[in-house]
A = this chain, B = another copy of it.
Amino acid sequence: MIQDVWKKFDEIELSHSSVHYLMAIHTLVKTQGYARSIDISNYLGLTRGSVSITVNKLVAKGYILEDKNRFFKLSDTGNQLVNAVLSKRRLFERLLSEIMLVNPTVAEEDACKIEHLVTKESSAKILSFMGFYLSDDPRAVAFRKAFSEYNYNCTHQDEQCDVCEIECYFSGDENYFRQENDLS
């Protein structure tokens, strides 16, 4: 049952890689007003050849629009997709940094990795949680204060500390995983 999740990924029309192309166009159009093939290849650090092939596929699939001077922009579908991804990224970034108190740089990187994997359901639930958590509700205010004190006081040196006890589970990672393609 769990491996079915990965099978589902294979059935997604857009690859990980393609999503990055769309994100690049979004960013480029936003920052410099336009996106040519060369801009995308500079932005993503890929060769012009690779970009040419993939972008043309995405044009054919209807995610990207190309004008007569070969300037690209996202179609409505492409825009929707990028918005969904960006929303999730921001959501996770905030969840990790503002609530879990993860270092903002790490939070940003992790959010970037997760952004287009998480379902709408989970995203909406997290949003709902954050809405209440960060609200003025006195129980929320009290909790935040209590947690920040707890966090400040716990040096994780304590033998009773749950975190210390369990943290070792995570120790096998970091060095082993390959970044499937370097565009995260």
Contact = CB atoms under 8 A, between A and B. Distances in A.
B127 A15 contact: no
A89 to B, nearest CB: 9
Interface of A: 2-3, 5-7, 9, 11-16, 19-20, 24, 43-45, 57, 60-61, 77, 79-88, 96, 99-103, 106-110, 112-114, 116-129, 131-133, 137, 139-140, 142-143, 145-147, 150-151, 154, 162-163, 166-167, 169-180, 182-184
Contacts of A88: 170, 173
Given A114-B114, A125-B101, A131-B162, A80 B140 contact: no
A176 B13 contact: yes
Contacts of A137: 146, 150
B81 A175 contact: yes
